[in-house]
Amino acid sequence: MTQRAKIDTEGPEPGGGSGGGSSAGARSGAATQAGAAIDGAAIAGAAIDAGAELDPVHPVAPPAPLFRAGGLTATAVAERVARGAVNDVPVRSSRSTTDIVRGNVFTRFNAIIGVLWLIMLFVAPIQDSLFGFVIIANTGIGIVQELRAKKTLDGLAVIGEAKPTVRRDGRTAEISTSGIVLDDVIELGPGDKVVVDGVVGEADGLEIDESLLTGEADPVLKKPGDPVMSGSFVVAGGGAFTATKVGREAYAAQLAEEASRFTLVHSELRSGISTILKYVTWMMVPTSIGLIISQLVVKGNDLDDAIARTVGGIVPMIPEGLVLLTSVAFAIGVVRLGRKQCLVQELPAIEGLARVDVVCLDKTGTLTEGGMDVTELRTLGGADPGYVRKVLGALGESDPRPNASLQAVIDAYPDEEDWRCTESLPFSSARKYSGASFSEGDGDTSTWLLGAPDVLLPPGDPALDEVTALNEDGLRVLLLARSARELDDPHVAGGAKPTALIVLEQRLRPDAADTLRYFGEQDVHAKVISGDNAISVSAVAAKLGLPGAENTVDARSLPAERPEMAQELDKNTVFGRVTPQQKRDMVGALQSRGHTVAMTGDGVNDVLALKDADIGVSMGSGSEATRAVAQIVLLNNSFSTLPSVVAEGRRVIGNITRVATLFLVKTVYSVLLALLVVCWQVEYPFLPRHLTLLSTLTIGVPAFFLALAPNKERARPHFVRRVMRYAIPGGAIAAVATFVTYLLARHHYSGPGALDAETSAATLTLFLVSMWVLAIIARPYTWWRVALVAAMGGAFLVVLVVPWLQDFFQLRLVGTIMPWTAVAVAAAGAAAVEFTFRWVDRRFPA
């Protein structure tokens, strides 16, 4: 038997479905040819009524359509495309261009600033309208950066897009999800995601997990005529189904579309900034009203100047650049990761991974490469090695969708016997074994199992000693056992006779050791949780130098209660024989102890844990289901990319937290200055041009560079509290120091031009205090940080000494007493800022 089509030559007639014992080979043989002759267009009406709803918890199958084993003809496909019966759900990894432009242009603060800008264009020189041009530039930068991120995400999404296998004209082909039409016949195998609703036509031990839709953890065994729902995935076996609902009519279509959109929300960073902006708005309204009234009263008939100084007080209250900078930092992060073939399906995943303190790793496909090699065959109980090879060859031929272990067996022992497979049991992560029954050439019938020795054998069996010794060398071992029971017997493994041990060597990823070392250096605890034998997993972890690899636990001994399980997880590092449900429970137990958990994996047994983890990371070569639920997909299958993702997240979060302090110090001192002006009933000291200059030199330009600098500090929670504990005292000190200088200058200067001199002195004090805040935020110093701060100071000095810049910004220091007084007040303010920040660090540690 050299072709899989020979496994079952006595299957049902074409077009009538198939039983549980049929194989994919039989489906692709004569039945497919016969089914191809059926004109799909003639029986399109047999599809399920598109209006029929499936109850996600207890689905009831509507009348099943006629199953065409060969799929639709080209003519039938064209007819369905023409009438719009296609799977046209727009699955996007990013916002549309229209959404990006709208999101950056039509904001609350852009509206406020836009109105103020229009007013200033009419009542004041162009210098006082510079803030409007800055906002236009900022908005343009934000749009350009997000469009770059969109282009990167969309390109990577096409590379990583799952392509379901569809039968058409008697042949199979992989097509894009959007290319599926109504009544298409779609094949399923382990790890495949059900992309549209349908009805099963063929089933070969087909088990589908619907827990992501229904919450029910147990896989559902599907038979011909049973419904399948989009969003579920195959955990074992294979089969094919007819698409009965496509596009937006499919059960999970709306959820899938919403979940796949590019988003900048639902993260602590974004929600924290939104909270800050909400409070800023509340403060702005009464302060602005008071400022407007006071300036109109104080200035008397000079309405234009009163309006200009009022706008000068309102504009700096708005931390408009903070939102822009956050968007830009995220977008640039996406582009950087995209260059490393890392698809970020949800932007907050960058932030989330920066907060991770525990990463759970699946061994197979993550620490080891997918392929394996058979290194030895050990027969047991005097079994004939030649006969064992025949059995292994037939077992390999019986599974149309072999996993990595069985593929290694197939490569080592090709099938050369004309044995007929009468029944098969696909491999399942929950069972830990697969099996098949054969009618041998001489008429004998036998049932064989292939799987985990410690599952198939009772404790104390002599063969387990050999297995343990092999596992300790990091080798993987499968047991071939002959069962005396029927394959559909729930206790088929009971009393099975061990016949041979198949020794497999796993290929370690060359980059795994360095990646694990990086996590250790970054204080991220790695936990290896695998379905393989615990001793074998421990040996692999030890070879990779994972600290605590000797602390190995067989997950079958773990307590089911979450608190007790969490204690074991904290104490140990390596866990073997973990079931898919246990992986999910372990993630939940770690989260219950306050950990932020990332889960990596590539197999269908990892899907539930990936979904529940704070951050799910899938390999690009992983199953379709894992890629669908993961927030991050490593398209190059390189485990070494993960540190780059962590570093990018830490850079974004750490730096945004730093520069947010700069923006909010400005907001605080602007509000307090306005209140002090209202209380003292004096003219507002600044025109918009002054604060545009200060904002550019002490916040805008340096914040952009600081936001993109390297930062390896792990992100910490409570963003708002951590930022405001510096912003409030820093802004208050800057406001008081500036207002003191202003009052002293009002007392010192008199006559024509006094207001300009007073403003210049106050501007000098505010600039120097703000520069000291910048100097603190820029720590720890490097050559470029020192150069950045020095360049900002130099730029301000140029404005003070170049005559045309003096006139442009209306800044001119008069005399020597008041300028030096301004410097002295600023020095006292800077000292107060330094002392206060240090006290805050001690009194309110982050």
Report pLDDT digits (tens) over 125-178: 888 888 888 788 878 887 887 888 777 777 766 666 668 899 999 888 888 888
Greater confidence (757 vs 110) lies with 757
Check residue 48 and report its DSSP letter. P
CB atoms within 10 A of CB 158: 10
Non-local (6+) Cβ contacts of 308 within 8 A are: 120, 123, 124, 128, 687, 688
Highest mean pLDDT among 4-13, 191-200, 416-425, 754-763: 754-763
| 148 belongs to a structural domain | no
Beta strand 597-601 pairing with 615-619: parallel
Q: Is the pLDDT of residue 799 over 80?
A: yes
Residues paired with residue 529 on neighbouring β-strands, in sequence order: 575
Q: What is the CA radius of gyration of the chain?
A: 34
Cα dihedral sign for 60, 63, 67, 71? negative
For 634, phi then psi, to 5°, come to -85, 95
| 615 belongs to a structural domain | yes
Are 614 and 475 part of one and the same domain? no
pLDDT bucket at 746, cuts 50 / 70 / 90: very high
| 127 belongs to a structural domain | no
pLDDT bucket at 332, cuts 50 / 70 / 90: confident
Are 223 and 178 part of one and the same domain? yes
Which residue type does 68 have? R
Are 395 and 456 part of one and the same domain? yes
Are 45 and 67 part of one and the same domain? yes
Non-local (6+) Cβ contacts of 102 within 8 A are: none
**pLDDT of 299:** 63
Residues paired with residue 502 on neighbouring β-strands, in sequence order: 377, 478
Distance CA 270, CA 348 (A): 9
How many domains is the chain partitioned into structurally? 4
Helix, strand, or coil here: 28? Answer: coil
pLDDT bucket at 405, cuts 50 / 70 / 90: confident
| 284 belongs to a structural domain | yes
**Which residue, 205, 198, 197, 209, is CA-closest to 235?**
209
* Structure-token match 């699955």, residue found: 91
**pLDDT of 804:** 92
CB atoms within 10 A of CB 648: 25
Q: Is the pLDDT of residue 614 over 60?
A: yes
pLDDT bucket at 734, cuts 50 / 70 / 90: very high
**pLDDT of 215:** 55
Taking a C-beta distance cutoff of 8 angstroms, is the pair 596, 357 a contact?
Answer: yes
Which residue type does 756 have? D
Query: Domain end: 254, 279, 298, which one?
Result: 254
**Token reading at 753:** 């031009």
Q: Phi-psi region for residue 519, left (φ > 0), alpha (ψ -120 to 50) or beta?
A: alpha
CB atoms within 10 A of CB 154: 13
pLDDT bucket at 31, cuts 50 / 70 / 90: very low
Q: Is the pLDDT of residue 259 over 70?
A: no
What share of the chain has pLDDT > 90, as a percent? 23
Q: Is the pLDDT of residue 800 over 90?
A: yes
Are 771 and 833 part of one and the same domain? yes
Are 576 and 450 part of one and the same domain? no
Greater confidence (259 vs 522) lies with 522
Are 682 and 654 part of one and the same domain? yes
Inter-residue long-range contacts of 611-614, CB under 8 Å, 24+ positions, other chains counted? 611/212, 611/584, 612/584, 612/587, 612/588, 613/360, 613/587, 614/352, 614/355, 614/356
Q: Is the pLDDT of residue 278 over 70?
A: yes
pLDDT, tens digit (0-9, with 9 covering 90-100), for 59-109: 444 455 677 888 899 999 999 999 888 887 655 555 678 888 888 888 777
**Residues of 602-631 as b/e, b for ≥16 C-beta within 10 angstroms?**
bbbbbbbbbbbbbbbbbbbebbbbbbbbbb
**Token reading at 540:** 């692999």
| 484 belongs to a structural domain | yes
Greater confidence (483 vs 344) lies with 483
Distance CA 19, CA 201 (A): 9
Taking a C-beta distance cutoff of 8 angstroms, is the pair 202, 29 a contact?
Answer: no
Give me the torsion for CA of 368, 374, 377, 380, rounded to 10°. Answer: 40
pLDDT bucket at 12, cuts 50 / 70 / 90: very low
Are 307 and 347 part of one and the same domain? no
> Which CATH number do you get for residue 235?
2.70.150.10
Beta strand 358-361 pairing with 525-529: parallel
Q: Is the pLDDT of residue 656 over 50?
A: yes
Non-local (6+) Cβ contacts of 364 within 8 A are: 370, 404, 506, 530, 531, 532, 602, 603
* Structure-token match 């009406």, residue found: 45
Query: Domain end: 507, 523, 540, which one?
Result: 507
**Token reading at 385:** 């090695």
Q: Is the pLDDT of residue 523 over 60?
A: yes
**pLDDT of 399:** 80
Are 514 and 495 part of one and the same domain? no
On average, the pLDDT of the chain sits at 81
**Token reading at 369:** 């490469």
| 134 belongs to a structural domain | no
Non-local (6+) Cβ contacts of 66 within 8 A are: 15, 43, 46
Are 389 and 360 part of one and the same domain? no
**pLDDT of 745:** 95
Helix %, strand %, coil % of the chain (to 5): 55, 15, 30
**pLDDT of 396:** 85
* Structure-token match 């069996």, residue found: 461
pLDDT, tens digit (0-9, with 9 covering 90-100), for 172-219: 888 888 889 999 999 998 878 888 889 999 988 888 887 666 656 667
For 723, phi then psi, to 5°, come to -75, -45
| 749 belongs to a structural domain | yes
**pLDDT of 159:** 61
Taking a C-beta distance cutoff of 8 angstroms, is the pair 706, 830 a contact?
Answer: no
**pLDDT of 761:** 96
> Which CATH number do you get for residue 605?
3.40.50.1000
Are 298 and 446 part of one and the same domain? no
- Residue-level length of the chain: 846
pLDDT, tens digit (0-9, with 9 covering 90-100), for 431-485: 888 888 988 766 678 899 998 898 888 888 888 888 888 888 878 889 999 988 8
768: containing domain = 263-333+650-843
CA distances 220 to 208, 224, 612, Å, are: 5, 13, 20
> Which CATH number do you get for residue 295?
1.20.1110.10
Query: Domain end: 637, 669, 686, which one?
Result: 637
For residues 473-501, average pLDDT: 87
Burial of 139 (0-12, 13-18, 19+ CB in 10 A): middle
| 759 belongs to a structural domain | yes
What share of the chain has pLDDT > 70, as a percent? 86
For 676, phi then psi, to 5°, come to -65, -40
Q: Is the pLDDT of residue 741 over 90?
A: yes
**pLDDT of 300:** 62
Distance CA 635, CA 580 (A): 23
Distance CA 60, CA 58 (A): 6
Are 392 and 469 part of one and the same domain? yes
**Which residue, 608, 628, 610, is CA-closest to 214?**
608
Distance CA 278, CA 467 (A): 63
Taking a C-beta distance cutoff of 8 angstroms, is the pair 515, 642 a contact?
Answer: yes
Non-local (6+) Cβ contacts of 840 within 8 A are: 725, 726, 729
**Residues annotated as part of the active site:** 362
For residues 282-306, average pLDDT: 79
**pLDDT of 805:** 93
